[in-house]
Amino acid sequence: MPPDDPVTALRGASLRVTKQRIAVLTALAHHPHADVDQLGRIVREDLGSVSTQALYDVLTALTDARLVRRLDTGQPARFELRGHDHDHVVCRGCGALADVERSDSPPPHLPQALGFRVDETEVLHRGLCPACRPGVHHP
């Protein structure tokens, strides 16, 4: 979300400004990679009663408006604010998720015959974190 102000971001995306949308954007600013359950707890602390369906509706609107990115790393899906482009690495063992700076190398070449103009690339690396790898000593 380029603007630091959720209200500005919502208006810039031609979305109605609601307290639920502001709360979700604010929660994601402080808790990147949150899932719906985590977001629900955070938003409910701020607003009181908010249904899970309302959270899904807000996340769908924010994702469709390209303010939020849905990360399909397995179950459950996680969400983050859109900002600078970066990749992700996820642990197959515990599900830990981390941002990885994107390499400066260009994306893979797509044959022109396919007719695509690439406007976004998502890269998800999978593996085992140090805590889940056998034989890795932890101090």
CATH (residue range 6-81): 1.10.10.10
Q: What is the pLDDT of residues 23-38, one digit of tens each?
A: 999 999 999 899 999 9
pLDDT value for 51: 94
Are 6-81 and 86-127 in the same CATH fold?
no
Compute the chain's Rg from CA coordinates.
Answer: 17
pLDDT at 1 over 60: no
pLDDT value for 73: 81
Average pLDDT, integer, range 42-47: 94
pLDDT at 124 over 60: yes
Residue that has been written with the tokens 């380029």 in this structure: 2
Residue 28 neighbours by CB distance under 10 Å: 25
pLDDT value for 111: 66
Q: Report the binding-site residues for Zn(2+).
A: 91, 94, 129, 132
Average pLDDT, integer, range 105-114: 66
Domain ranges in the chain? 6-81, 86-127
**If pLDDT is split at 50, 70 and 90, which confidence band does 98 have?**
confident
Q: Report the binding-site residues.
A: 87, 91, 94, 129, 132
pLDDT value for 22: 96
Distance CA 41, CA 27 (A): 10
pLDDT value for 108: 64
CA 124, 39, 98 angle in degrees (round to 5)?
Answer: 25
Beta-sheet pairing, 34-35 with 78-81: antiparallel
Beta-sheet pairing, 86-91 with 34-35: unpaired
Backbone angles phi, psi at 13, to 5 degrees: -95, 10
**What is the crossing angle of helices 36-47 and 52-64, to 10°?**
110
CATH (residue range 86-127): 3.30.1490
Q: Is the peptide bond before 134 cis (omega within 30 degrees of 0)?
A: no
Q: Report the binding-site residues for Fe cation.
A: 87
pLDDT value for 113: 67
